[in-house]
Amino acid sequence: MAVAIVAFGWWFWQRFLVGDEARVRRQLFSMTRAVEQGNVLRLEGALADDYSDSLGMDKSTLLGGMRAYRQQHEGLFIHLSEVTITVEADHQKAQAVFVAKVLVKPKSGAGETQLFSDRFRLFFRKSDQGWKLFRTESPELKFD
């Protein structure tokens, strides 16, 4: 009986008390961890089938690129800052704008750890399976 009450409470909390902004934020950080860990399956589940980005990559190209990048680098750490989540009034689309600082170390051991920093804008769409990333834009964006 106690397990049923806890399960119902968890379902109620997730379904009615946690807002879309929190769900998008959770999805964003889950995707970040997937990239850091090289977990292609988790990242694939977070991407919409019609994913595209400002570099011209689609879903399969992005996943292949991530796999190749992870094979060349042993350490990868991503820190997101200035994260702003905006959910549209119809609660079907959302945007995440942030600065990503990426620290990488090549597997070859040659060279030093490198730091990259850039602004990104991600577009999410709500589906039956939760929030899915369907578009990514990277800089030269003008931010206020």
| CATH code at position 75 | 3.10.450.50
In a domain, 70, yes or no: yes
In a domain, 6, yes or no: no
In a domain, 13, yes or no: no
Residue 112: the pLDDT is 67
Q: What is the pLDDT along the chain (144 residues), one digit of tens a residue?
A: 888 888 877 776 666 556 788 889 999 999 999 998 888 899 999 999 999 988 889 999 999 988 888 888 888 899 999 999 999 988 899 999 999 998 888 777 666 677 888 899 999 999 888 899 999 988 665 544
Asked whether 93 and 132 are in contact (CB, 8 A), the reply is: no
What range defines the domain where residue 131 resides? Answer: 21-137
In a domain, 52, yes or no: yes
CA angle 14, 39, 31 (to 5 degrees): 45
In a domain, 65, yes or no: yes
CA distance 49 to 32: 19
Full-model pTM: 0.79
In a domain, 104, yes or no: yes
Domain count, the chain: 1
Instruction: Kindly provide the residue ranges of all beta strands, DSSP E only, lying in the chain, ordered along the sequence.
Output: 47-53, 73-87, 93-106, 114-127, 130-137
